[in-house]
Amino acid sequence: MKLGMTSGCLLGLLLMTAALTRTGAVPVPSPLRALPGTRGCHLAQFKSLSPQELQAFKRAKDAFEESLLQKDWNCSSRIFPRTRDLRQLQVWERPVALKAEVALTLAVLGTMANSSLGSTLDQPLHTLGHIHSQLQACVPAQPTAGPRPRDRLHHWLHRLQEAPKKESQDCLEASVMFNLFRLLTRDLKCVASGHLCV
């Protein structure tokens, strides 16, 4: 008899919670997969990249800077403003922002792979691809399933999404290349550190 009453109470509580969540009467918790350290999400390994990996990125950046001397380019805006700081976001928002940043970087570097820089980009593309796959395990495919992005995150995501439409290929390449070490040593480290990044 007690077992039946307990089961009935639990069922009632579950139905009530589902109804309240559906009507928006209670806040929807942030998805666990969006937070570093959860199952299938292993970002702590990126608190610091190996010297070999960083050297590969440096070689690619140096080669790119040499190629710039042969180009006449002028960019009107910054895709990655200096004032942008992931610490301004909530902890669950940071992997979302970093995933978009890495995705754009991968896309731009991928188009450069057929240029004279091709061989120097092999290792950086491999490393960034691994980072992106780990971020995908931490960030839901459909962000709408969790809390909605605040204005600042929404603005950052929109800027990155619009960049390929608004900027020339030369500007995209320059922006991504000059942002590489900030991405690797600051943004990535912050996301990998979770709540400790303050």
Instruction: Spell out the residues 6+ positions from residue 127 whose beta carbon is closer than 8 angstroms to its own.
Output: 49, 53, 56, 57
The verdict on residue 26 lying in a domain is no
Distance in angstroms (rounded) separating the CA atoms of residues 107 and 101: 10
The verdict on residue 91 lying in a domain is no
The verdict on residue 122 lying in a domain is yes
pTM of the shown model: 0.75
The verdict on residue 95 lying in a domain is no
The verdict on residue 72 lying in a domain is no
The verdict on residue 15 lying in a domain is no
Q: Which one is predicted more confidently, 189 or 67?
A: 189
The mean pLDDT of 130-157, rounded to a whole number, is 78
Distance in angstroms (rounded) separating the CA atoms of residues 58 and 120: 10
CATH number at residue 117: 1.20.1250.60
pLDDT tens for 72-117 read 667 767 889 888 899 999 999 999 999 999 999 999 999 998 788 8
The backbone region for 37, taken as left when phi is positive above 0, alpha when psi lies in -120 to 50, beta otherwise, is: left
Element holding 188 (H helix, E strand): helix 188-193
The verdict on residue 81 lying in a domain is no
Alpha helices (H) along 139-187 = 151-166, 169-182
Residue 39 pLDDT class (50, 70, 90 cuts): low
The mean pLDDT of 165-192, rounded to a whole number, is 93
Number of domains observed in the structure of the chain: 1
The verdict on residue 94 lying in a domain is no
Distance in angstroms (rounded) separating the CA atoms of residues 119 and 197: 35
- Domain span at 134: 100-139+149-197
